[in-house]
Amino acid sequence: MPKSFERAIGETFECHACPLNLELEAMYNVTNCMSSSDVGRSTLATVLDNLQLSEMSRGMITLADEFTRKLVLEVIQDEAGADVERNGITYQFGEGIIGSAFEQNRVVIVPRVGDESRFAGKLGIYDPNRPFIAVPISANGKVIGVLAAQPKVADMDRLESQSRFLVMIANLVGQIAKLSQDHALEKCQLTDQRDRLLEQLSQQYGFENIIGRSDPMRRVFQQISAVAKWTTTVLIRGESGTGKELVAHAIHYNSQRADKPFVKLNAAVLSDNLLESELFGYEKGAFTGATEGRPGRFERADGGTLFLDEIGEISPGFQSKLLRVLQEGEFERVGSSQTKSVDVRIIAATNRDLEADVEAGKFREDLYYRLNVMPIYMPPLRARCEDIPDLAMHLVRRISDRQGRDLSLSQSATALLMRYDWPGNVRELENCLERAAVMAGSAVIDREAIVDTGLEDRIMSRGGTLVEAPANFNDPDLDERDRIVAALEHCGWVQAKAARLLGMTPRQIAYRIQTLDIKVRRI
C-alpha cells in the first residue's frame, strides 16, 4: 500500500479516466444548493450529500474560529449520509490531518486511515481500511476551513481525481462562506445601528422630554406609564400644540413594541380616496398612476404602532372602513380582493369634542368607543402655567442645538412669558422663543427680546395686565431672600403675582418663603 502524500493547491497531475459525468452532476447540484448565498448547516449537509455521487462518504466540514483559533466541526455525515452529532468537537490549528491541511494549506491524501499516525480519530466513525482526503477551504486567498471525506476505493488514480473534485467543491464553499460571513457582519452592524437608533429615539421621545411638574402633567405621566406596557388603544385628547404626538411617541418607545415600526398619518389633510390608499395600500393598476403596488400604513406598522392624528376629521363614510380594521385586524388593498391581517396598536389623537360630534351624528358612536379605550387628556398651557419656566428652558436648549450656539433665558423674560395664556400652547411658546433668539442682541434672551416679539401687545389684547419689575429687582447685590421680598412688596404681597415676576411657580415661591423665614404681610 502506498504511503500518504501531499501536494500544493494548483499542482497539476497527468489526467486519468474518472466517472466525470457523476462529478459534473454533483457539482451542478452543489452549485444550485449554494446559490442562495446561505451557508447554514442544512446547506453544508446538502454539499456532503452530493459527495456520494463521487463515491465518497463520511464527509465533514470544519470552519475556523479566529477568536478561539480552532477549527469548529460544522457538519459531518456517516456512511449512509445521515447527520452525526457533533458534540462540540474542534481541532487546534495543525492538529491531525484536518489541522495539518488547514495550517499548511495543502491537500492531504491518506491511502489507508489505519496506517496514518497523524489521524486524530476523534469521531470514531471512519473505516481504518479506507482512504481519507482533506482539502483546505479558501476565500480571497485565505484558508477558512477544511473539507474532508472518505473515498470508497483506494485506487491512487481515482484518489487524485477525487481530490481535485473536492478542491473544486471546497473553493465554491469558500467563496459562498466568505460572502455569508460578510452578510453576517453587515447584519450585525445593521443590528447595532438599529439598536443605537432605537436608543436615541427612546431618549428623544422618553418621559424626560415631556416637561411638566404640575398636577395635570403628573396625571399624564401616570397614564403613559400605565398604558405603555399594554397594547391597549389610546385616544389622546387636547388642544392643538399641547404635545399629543410627543405622548404617542413616548407610549410606543416605552412599550414592548419599541423595536417595531412607529408609523404616523395626519388624517385631516387627505381626502377619503387618498386616505384609503395611504392606510390600506393599493395594487398595480388600481387607479390612474398606480404603476406598481404599494403597502399602506397598516402593513408598514405591522407588529408596531400606528398613530392617527386628527382622527376626528375623517368623514362618516370612511369611519366604517376604519372600524372594520380596528375590530377584526383585516383589510384589503385598493384594487385587491385578498384579505390581509395585521397586528397594529392604534394611538389616535384629536382636538375635537368627539362626544358632541357623536351627538350630532358626525362621528360613529361604535368607532368612538373603539378608540376611546384609554383616554389621555393633554392640558393646555394656561392650565399649567407653573410649568412654563422649565418648559421654556427646555425649548431654549432645543433652539440652541438648532442654531449651534449657547442660549440662556433671563428671569425677567420668564416672568413675562408667564403673564400670557398661550392659546397656541407649547407650539406658540416655542415660536415666540425662537423669534426672540433671533432678535436677541446676545446669547441671553432677555425681557426686551421677548417684548420685541409682540408678546406685550398680545397680553394686553387678551385682557391681561403687565407687572413691571422694580428698579432694584435685578440688583446683583441682592440675595435671594431680598429679591423675593422686593417682588412680594412690588406685587402687594400676592404670592402668585410675585412668582410670575420671579419666573417661579406658586409652589416654588411658597417653599422659599417658608425656608427663608419670610414673614408674609397681610394687605
In this structure, what are the phi and psi dihedrals at residue 7, rounded to the nearest 5 degrees? Answer: -140, 155
Contact 319, 285 (CB under 8 A): no
Cα distances (Å, whole numbers) of residue 53 to 29, 78, 439:
10, 15, 83
Whole-number pLDDT of residue 485: 79
Whole-number pLDDT of residue 14: 42
List the end-to-end C-alpha distance of the chain, in Å, as a whole number: 120
- Reading the block at residue 410, the C-alpha cell is 433671563
Say how far apart CA 37 and CA 416 lie, in whole Å: 66
The predicted-structure confidence for 397-417, as pLDDT tens digits, reads as follows 999 999 999 999 988 888 889
Task: Label residues 140-165 b or e (16+ Cβ within 10 Å = b).
Answer: eeebbbbbbbbbbeeeeebbbbbbbb
- Could you please report the per-residue DSSP string of 218-249? HHHHHHHHHHHTS---EEEE--TTS-HHHHHH
Domain coordinates of the chain in residue numbers?
A: 19-183, 207-376, 382-462, 468-522
Q: If we measure between CA atoms, which residue out of 22, 65, 31, 28 comes closest to residue 175?
A: 31
CATH 3.40.50.300 fits 207-376, yes or no: yes
Whole-number pLDDT of residue 35: 60
Helix (H, G, I), strand (E, B) or coil at 200: helix
CB count in 10 Å sphere of residue 80: 8
The predicted-structure confidence for 81-101, as pLDDT tens digits, reads as follows 888 887 778 889 988 899 999
pTM of the model: 0.59
Fill in the DSSP letter of residue 207: G
Whole-number pLDDT of residue 118: 83
In this structure, what are the phi and psi dihedrals at residue 30, rounded to the nearest 5 degrees? Answer: -65, -45
Q: If we measure between CA atoms, which residue out of 354, 357, 413 comes closest to residue 388?
A: 413
Whole-number pLDDT of residue 137: 92
Task: Label residues 114-130 b or e (16+ Cβ within 10 Å = b).
Answer: eebeebeeebeebeeeb
Q: Say yes or no: do domains 19-183 and 468-522 share a fold.
A: no
Q: If we measure between CA atoms, which residue out of 440, 429, 422, 428 comes closest to residue 393?
A: 429
How are beta strands 305-309 and 262-266 bridged, if at all? parallel
Helix (H, G, I), strand (E, B) or coil at 265: strand
How are beta strands 106-110 and 5-8 bridged, if at all? antiparallel
- Lookup result for grid cell 403597502: 295
Say how far apart CA 150 and CA 139 lie, in whole Å: 24
Q: Under 8 Å CB-to-CB from 240, ≥6 apart: which residues?
A: 351, 424, 425, 427
- Reading the block at residue 356, the C-alpha cell is 358632541
Whole-number pLDDT of residue 312: 95
Q: Under 8 Å CB-to-CB from 42, ≥6 apart: which residues?
A: none
Contact 298, 344 (CB under 8 A): yes
Top-level class of domain 19-183: alpha beta
Say how far apart CA 418 and CA 388 lie, in whole Å: 7
Long-range contacts made by residues 276-283, C-beta under 8 angstroms, separation at least 24? Answer: 276/318, 276/321, 276/334, 277/334, 279/322, 279/325, 279/331, 280/325, 280/331, 280/332, 280/333, 280/334, 281/333, 281/334, 282/333, 282/334, 282/335, 282/336, 283/333, 283/334, 283/335, 283/336
Contact 57, 81 (CB under 8 A): yes
Burial (CB count within 10 angstroms: exposed 0-12, middle 13-18, buried 19+), residue 450:
buried
Spans of the chain below 50 pLDDT:
1, 10-18, 37, 467, 469, 471, 523
CATH 2.60.40.1180 fits 468-522, yes or no: no
Fill in the DSSP letter of residue 346: E
Q: Under 8 Å CB-to-CB from 452, ≥6 apart: which residues?
A: 435, 436, 439
Query: What CATH number labels 382-462?
Result: 1.10.8.60
